[in-house]
Amino acid sequence: MERLEAEIDPSYERVIAKCKRCGHRNIFSRVDDLKTYEPVGGMEISCLNPDCGFPLWITGDIVNCAYEMLLIDCSDLMKQKHYIYCILNISQAYEMFFSQYIRYTLLYVPYANDRNLARFRELYGRLGTKLGDFTFAGLRNTFLKWAATGLSIRSYSLAERQIDVLSPKEDTPSDSLIEGCSRPELANLLAAVKCVKVHEIRNDVVHHAGYRPRRIQVESCLSEAWTLFSGLCDALRIRRDNLDWYDASNSSLA
Ligand SMILES: [Zn+2]
């Protein structure tokens, strides 16, 4: 049967596909409807308009990391003046970024050196349980300390020991620890991360009578997040948060 390529509007949780036959705007949940967390390289779906149901082809999905997709979603939220949702998204993007770095350090680097999938899965589960107790501050402080001191873990046994001593109450690293980082450009980025306030605005929303942020605050937080993530990804060479990517990569990680 003939099928039409649909115009798509992808976001973190959804893919919206416009049917070229009837014009219906089809909203698909990635998890419930498309049944994949992977970017859609090409998939046949049917128009959800009961009077149409025409086969549609969706392709050209975005392949950004989860934390970037939450920031991308903010552009639509900004247009709708949903500033609270933007602040929640930006705070969560930082938390996802920090936890991705922790997974990268404790799971993906050891995996790239020893492709023992059973061991990887065991530690993945243990780390996930441990990180469940972490707030923004705990994730950020752990990230800052490790990035500033260049923590490098290359074996599962060392990773396991590190998971055991991970603490959600990790102290905020001192300015001198961050300034002592051997790479000045990274030290500047880490110092800026230490000053980020978006989670405090989120706390005002949640705990202080539903504080309503202003557009100018959201614009500033969003632009700061894009700048920091882009600089940190280059400086730390953070790779994908996806085991298949490491499986496909033949070289071990530096
Ligand atoms: Zn249709």
pLDDT tens digits, 27-62: 999 999 999 888 888 999 999 999 999 999 999 888
Q: How far is the CA of 8 from the centre of ligand 1 (A)?
A: 13
Output 241 or 201, whichever has higher pLDDT. 201
pLDDT tens digits, 192-203: 999 999 999 999
Q: How far is the CA of 44 from the centre of ligand 1 (A)?
A: 13
Q: Quote the pLDDT of residue 251.
A: 47
- Entry pTM: 0.88
Of 16-20, 49-53, 128-132, 206-210, which range is least confident? 206-210
The CA distance from 6 to 46, in Å, is 10
Contacts of 154 (CB under 8 A, 6+ apart): 109, 110, 113
Q: How far is the CA of 52 from the centre of ligand 1 (A)?
A: 5
Q: How far is the CA of 54 from the centre of ligand 1 (A)?
A: 5
Q: What percent of the chain has pLDDT over 70?
A: 94
For residue 222 the two structure tokens come to 């969003």
Q: How far is the CA of 22 from the centre of ligand 1 (A)?
A: 4
Q: Are 172 and 141 in contact (CB under 8 A)?
A: yes
Q: How far is the CA of 4 from the centre of ligand 1 (A)?
A: 10
Q: How far is the CA of 56 from the centre of ligand 1 (A)?
A: 8
Phi then psi dihedrals of residue 33, to 5 deg: -95, -45
Q: Rank 71-85, 200-214, 227-241 by mean pLDDT and report only the highest.
A: 71-85
Q: How far is the CA of 30 from the centre of ligand 1 (A)?
A: 19
Q: How far is the CA of 17 from the centre of ligand 1 (A)?
A: 10
Q: How far is the CA of 99 from the centre of ligand 1 (A)?
A: 40
Q: Quote the pLDDT of residue 254.
A: 44
Per-chain mean pLDDT for the chain = 92
Q: How far is the CA of 70 from the centre of ligand 1 (A)?
A: 28
Q: How far is the CA of 58 from the centre of ligand 1 (A)?
A: 13
The CA distance from 22 to 108, in Å, is 46
94-104: burial string, b at 16+ Cβ within 10 Å, e else:
bbbbbbbbbbb
Compute the average pLDDT of residues 126-154: 96
